[in-house]
A = this chain, B = another copy of it.
Amino acid sequence: MARTTRPTLTHVAASAGVSVSTASLAFSGAGPVSERTRQRVLDAAAELGYAGPDPMARSLRQGRTGIIGVVFAERLRHAFRDPVAIALLDGLAEELGPVGPGLLVLTGNDERAGPSTEQLAAAPLDAAVFATCDLEEEPLVEPLRVREIPMVGIEGPRMPGVSLVDIDNIGASREVTEHILSLGHKRIAAVVLPWRPGRQRGFLDRARRDLSGSVVFADRLRGTEEAIGASVHAWEAAASTVEEGRAAGRALLDVDEPPTAIVAHSDLLAAGVIQAAHELGLRVPEDLSVAGFDGIDTPWLDPLTLTTAVQPMVEKGRIAGRMVTDLLAGRTPEDVLLPVHLRVGGTTAPPR
């Protein structure tokens, strides 16, 4: 009795001599079924090669897929190069693991910063987490808002309908810079995050400071300048990577009167700055102090440990996951602001 099409619950039920509803209960366990019947159904299923209830049919009926979308405003290769994003995903996966099938990764490509509107409209999601969508004017939330998909933002601006997991970017950045100042540094430069959109590499000009871009970019810059009490000589990186940090370091250090300290707004950028310094024959921290932001593992800097602002990366993901769970249960979670603490490492010291 070969069948060319996949068996369905109807076939299984028929073969077991029960109704479809009973067969359904035998699989879901959502109702009373005698052990004997249950076994008959499962046996019939095994014999027919039935793989269990069809996920799409079940989704349509129940109104949910179990899938959580994770939205990145960049191409996958760039998003996943960032240890902070990976840690976030890990926390998210850990928290949501038992819940459903998994995480649907929604990224952009070379042309688009983030998934297309069509993608967002067609994705079978129960909820979405914005991993790196920190723009004031975020075109990515609208398609999901229309669908009434619960949303959680990470370090974004406060937006109606988007629950927020935030960290104290301004305060932490200020604290790092204050540490540098307290060591006695006068000539301080900064390497700031990509302004986004239209990321570019180069000295930060006034125009870009004032236009609204990424709030993380703006907050970390603001913290640094609040500490200094004036605007800081800054280089804008096109991405948060070691290579970009290195380019920044070269640009800032290979001049007549280089700074004695550089505040980088990510650890990867800081690592690049340190590398550039070494290449230019400068010792860290003797000739140059360098601070970062994030608190990622930097085993390759060993024996140096980076002075940095340690943010709870995995925890951000876990909390976002918990918020998703709450939202799906109909609860309205409070926004969360997580603390960041200064970790003084070996890359900062008084100027000579």
CB of A119 closer than 8 Å to a CB of B: yes
**Considering only CB atoms, which chain B residue lies closest to A300 in the complex?**
B300
**Considering only CB atoms, which chain B residue lies closest to A57 in the complex?**
B60
CB of A242 closer than 8 Å to a CB of B: yes
In the assembled complex, how far is the CB of residue A261 from the closest CB belonging to chain B, in whole angstroms?
A: 22
Q: Contacts of A119 on B, CB cut-off 8 Å?
A: 101-102
CB of A205 closer than 8 Å to a CB of B: no
Question: Within the oligomer, what is the number of copies of this chain?
Answer: 2
In the assembled complex, how far is the CB of residue A239 from the closest CB belonging to chain B, in whole angstroms?
A: 13
Contact check, A123 vs B55: say whether CB atoms are below 8 A apart: yes
**Considering only CB atoms, which chain B residue lies closest to A53 in the complex?**
B122
Docked complex Cα distance between A106 and B94 (Å):
12
- Produce 1/0 per residue, A59-70, CB < 8 A to B: 110010111010
Q: Say yes or no: A87-B93 contact (C-beta < 8 A), given A51-B121, A124-B65, A243-B299.
A: no
CB of A109 closer than 8 Å to a CB of B: yes
Interface size, A (range):
35 or more
Give the contacting residue for A75; candidates B65, B76, B90, B109; CB below 8 A. Answer: B90
**Considering only CB atoms, which chain B residue lies closest to A80 in the complex?**
B86
Which of A69, A77, A107, A272 is the most central at the interface, judged by chain B CB atoms within 10 Å of its CB? A77
Q: Contacts of A303 on B, CB cut-off 8 Å?
A: 279
Contact check, A124 vs B147: say whether CB atoms are below 8 A apart: no
Q: Contacts of A327 on B, CB cut-off 8 Å?
A: none
Q: Contacts of A345 on B, CB cut-off 8 Å?
A: none
CB of A282 closer than 8 Å to a CB of B: no
Q: Contacts of A18 on B, CB cut-off 8 Å?
A: none
Contact check, A107 vs B101: say whether CB atoms are below 8 A apart: no
Contact check, B101 vs A103: say whether CB atoms are below 8 A apart: no
In the assembled complex, how far is the CB of residue A99 from the closest CB belonging to chain B, in whole angstroms?
A: 10
Q: Contacts of A58 on B, CB cut-off 8 Å?
A: 122
Contact check, B106 vs A104: say whether CB atoms are below 8 A apart: no
CB of A97 closer than 8 Å to a CB of B: yes
In the assembled complex, how far is the CB of residue A96 from the closest CB belonging to chain B, in whole angstroms?
A: 11
Q: Say yes or no: A76-B59 contact (C-beta < 8 A), given A6-B148, A122-B66, A242-B300.
A: no
In the assembled complex, how far is the CB of residue A120 from the closest CB belonging to chain B, in whole angstroms?
A: 9
CB of A56 closer than 8 Å to a CB of B: yes
Give the contacting residue for A76; candidates B93, B104, B246; CB below 8 A. Answer: B93
- Produce 1/0 per residue, A159-199, CB < 8 A to B: 00000000000000000000000000000000000000000
Contact check, B60 vs A143: say whether CB atoms are below 8 A apart: no
CB of A213 closer than 8 Å to a CB of B: no
Docked complex Cα distance between A310 and B121 (Å):
40
Q: Contacts of A146 on B, CB cut-off 8 Å?
A: 49, 51
Contact check, B101 vs A123: say whether CB atoms are below 8 A apart: yes
Q: What are 24 A-B residue pairs whose CB atoms fall within 8 Å in the complex?
A: A51-B146, A54-B60, A55-B122, A56-B60, A59-B59, A59-B60, A59-B124, A60-B60, A66-B122, A67-B124, A76-B93, A77-B87, A80-B89, A89-B105, A93-B109, A94-B109, A101-B123, A102-B104, A102-B105, A102-B106, A102-B119, A103-B105, A275-B299, A300-B300
Which 6 A-B pairs rank lowest in CB-CB distance, beginning with the nearest?
A77-B90, A101-B123, A55-B124, A51-B146, A51-B147, A56-B59
